[in-house]
């Protein structure tokens, strides 16, 4: 029987991740609140409503919960449309609200990681063509500068943009986010706009705070090739390049290479102090001649494994290791897991996903990949974009009922809390939370296999 302790480095950041629109409530003047008004866009036409009522002040009690569970950091986002509801008009009350939130984190000894853009845009930005308009990158940089000036006293960890490829693809190719379009060309131009926005915001924040640590959160998909792989392997590679890699490479080289189009984005080169990894699922990729819009590439669910709810892929915590490895080898930058989690209202899978995900992080550390922190998605159930409050998409360590605002800890909250408090994952924890799986997950001590030495001639 093994009895290990997987210890994490001193100073490792442990926390949860949230996004303004998903937790704040109170209908800000942004694109998502507008999208929610359109029939047929969100699960059962739901609206974010009160969400977790963080705009009403309930962030404080949720930070208490996180702190009590040993979290020493928290990733959250500020809502651009509240801070700048009209072009060039900055709202002091909104800024004060976020200053209070940051002070509340500091008071609980939790390091804030502040995201500037998490899927929502002010309506006036949408009105000027959103990220297809080159001016938007400049407006975003101006916003970033104001936020850095006003809130930079309490923040040194900045995430400019959350999941630029998801924003671009969901909104402009797959039509699930606003504006609901279906054009690969426009999706790629939006991704380029976000990359320029990131670069401009990076420069603007550094002006204000030279020692700021600035990165972005990149969603990475684990991808298998459909069989036969001699036929479909290139489809997997193409999807992997466009979705996972092109933008990351542009941050290093200043060239954004999508399919046959290469665009010079020299301002993006070197604008990365760290990189954030968001990862959840594994898919199978292959060619399908009926999908001309998507460059004839199709992404499907594997047949086996731990399948997530419809529309998602296989839940694949080992992807955390795979993606850290690529990001670390390619960028050489410090890495934060800025999101990882599982939709699971009953908490039947989450302990397993947590243990496998954290083991992946620990494995990566043992390869000397510079992982600096882990932020579980998410603290409490919240408004899950197109899925709204669909019970199949509850990602919280805490259950949260948006009507009653009652929070209930899931067992995973306690398991994760033990890990955070100990800065380690132990076999004893695994046995208590996963009695049936523990021994299969961590079979005995590895045995050295015999190695036959061949005499050298």
Residues 6+ apart with CB under 8 A from 272: 202, 214, 215, 216, 251, 252, 331, 333
Q: Is residue 377 at the binding interface for ligand FCB, with CB under 6 A as the rule?
A: yes
Q: Based on CB atoms, which residue is closest to ligand FCB, 55 or 281?
A: 281
C-beta neighbour count of 443 within 10 angstroms: 9
Contact with ligand FCB (CB under 6 A): which of 115, 220, 222, 278? 278
Nearest distance, CB of residue 242 and ligand FCB, angstroms = 17
CA distance 296 to 302: 19
Number of residues located near ligand FCB, criterion CB under 6 A: 12
For residue 126, with 0-12 CB atoms within 10 Å meaning exposed, 13-18 middle and 19 or more buried, which class applies? buried
Indicate the length of the chain as a whole number: 457
Q: Is residue 219 at the binding interface for ligand FCB, with CB under 6 A as the rule?
A: yes
Q: Is residue 339 at the binding interface for ligand FCB, with CB under 6 A as the rule?
A: yes
Residues 6+ apart with CB under 8 A from 318: 222, 356, 360
62-70, 159-167, 229-237, 248-256 -> range binding ligand FCB (CB under 6 A) = 159-167
CA distance 17 to 159: 12
Nearest distance, CB of residue 262 and ligand FCB, angstroms = 27
CA distance 137 to 163: 16
Q: DSSP code of 399?
A: E
Q: Is residue 395 at the binding interface for ligand FCB, with CB under 6 A as the rule?
A: yes
Output helix, strand, coil percentages for the chain, rounded to the nearest 5: 40, 20, 40
Q: Is residue 380 at the binding interface for ligand FCB, with CB under 6 A as the rule?
A: no
Q: Is residue 36 at the binding interface for ligand FCB, with CB under 6 A as the rule?
A: no
Q: Is residue 19 at the binding interface for ligand FCB, with CB under 6 A as the rule?
A: yes
Contact with ligand FCB (CB under 6 A): which of 136, 145, 160, 162? 162
Nearest distance, CB of residue 271 and ligand FCB, angstroms = 21
108-116, 126-134, 160-168, 345-353 -> range binding ligand FCB (CB under 6 A) = 160-168
Nearest distance, CB of residue 170 and ligand FCB, angstroms = 9
Intra-chain end-to-end CA distance of the chain, in Å: 43
Q: Is residue 20 at the binding interface for ligand FCB, with CB under 6 A as the rule?
A: no
Q: Based on CB atoms, which residue is closest to ligand FCB, 354 or 430?
A: 354
Burial 345-369 (b: 16+ CB within 10 A, else e): bebebbbbbbbbbbbbbbbbbeeeb
Contact with ligand FCB (CB under 6 A): which of 79, 84, 121, 163? 163
Instruction: Give the CA-trace dihedral at 295, 301, 304, 308, to 10 degrees.
Output: 150
29-37, 161-169, 309-317, 436-444 -> range binding ligand FCB (CB under 6 A) = 161-169
Measured from each CB, the residue nearest to ligand FCB is 19
Binding site for ligand FCB (CB under 6 A): 19, 22, 162-163, 166, 219, 278, 339, 377, 384-385, 395
């Amino acid at each position: 029987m093994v009895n290990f302790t997987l210890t994490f480095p001193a100073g490792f950041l442990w926390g949860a991740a949230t996004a303004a629109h998903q937790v704040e409530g109170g209908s800000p003047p942004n694109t998502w609140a507008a999208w929610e008004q359109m029939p047929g866009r969100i699960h059962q036409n739901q609206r974010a409503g009160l969400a977790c009522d963080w705009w009403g002040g309930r962030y404080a009690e949720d930070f208490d919960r996180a702190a009590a569970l040993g979290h020493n950091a928290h990733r959250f986002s500020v809502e651009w449309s509240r801070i700048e509801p009209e072009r060039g008009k900055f709202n002091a009350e909104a800024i004060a609200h976020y200053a209070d939130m940051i002070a509340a984190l500091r008071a609980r000894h939790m390091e804030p990681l502040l995201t500037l853009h998490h899927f929502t845009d002010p309506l006036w930005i949408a009105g000027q063509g959103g990220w297809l308009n080159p001016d938007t990158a400049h407006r975003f940089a101006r916003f970033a500068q104001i936020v850095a000036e006003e809130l930079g006293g309490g923040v040194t960890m900045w995430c400019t943009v959350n999941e630029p490829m998801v924003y671009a693809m969901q909104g402009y190719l797959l039509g699930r986010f606003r504006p609901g379009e279906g054009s690969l060309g426009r999706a790629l131009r939006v991704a380029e706009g976000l990359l320029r926005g990131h670069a401009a915001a990076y420069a603007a924040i550094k002006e204000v705070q030279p020692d700021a640590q600035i990165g972005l959160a990149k969603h990475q998909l684990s991808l298998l090739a459909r069989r036969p792989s001699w036929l479909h392997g290139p489809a997997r590679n193409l999807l992997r390049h466009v979705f996972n890699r092109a933008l990351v490479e542009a941050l290093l080289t200043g060239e954004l290479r999508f399919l046959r189009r290469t665009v010079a984005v020299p301002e993006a080169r070197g604008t990365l102090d760290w990189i954030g990894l968001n990862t959840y699922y594994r898919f199978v990729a292959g060619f399908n001649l009926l999908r001309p819009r998507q460059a004839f590439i199709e992404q499907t669910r594997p047949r086996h494994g731990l399948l997530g709810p419809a529309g998602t892929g296989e839940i694949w915590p080992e992807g955390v290791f795979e993606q850290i490895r690529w990001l670390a080898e390619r960028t050489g930058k410090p890495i934060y897991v800025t999101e990882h989690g599982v939709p699971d209202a009953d908490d039947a899978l989450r302990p397993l996903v947590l243990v496998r995900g954290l083991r992946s992080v620990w494995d990566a550390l043992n390869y000397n990949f510079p992982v600096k922190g882990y932020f579980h998605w998410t603290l409490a159930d919240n408004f899950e974009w197109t899925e709204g409050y669909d019970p199949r998409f509850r990602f919280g360590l805490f259950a949260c009922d948006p009507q009653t605002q009652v929070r209930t800890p899931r067992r995973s909250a306690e398991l994760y809390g033990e890990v955070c408090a100990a800065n380690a994952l132990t076999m004893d924890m695994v046995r208590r939370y996963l009695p049936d799986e523990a021994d299969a997950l961590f079979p005995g001590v590895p045995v050295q296999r015999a190695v036959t030495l061949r005499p050298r001639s």
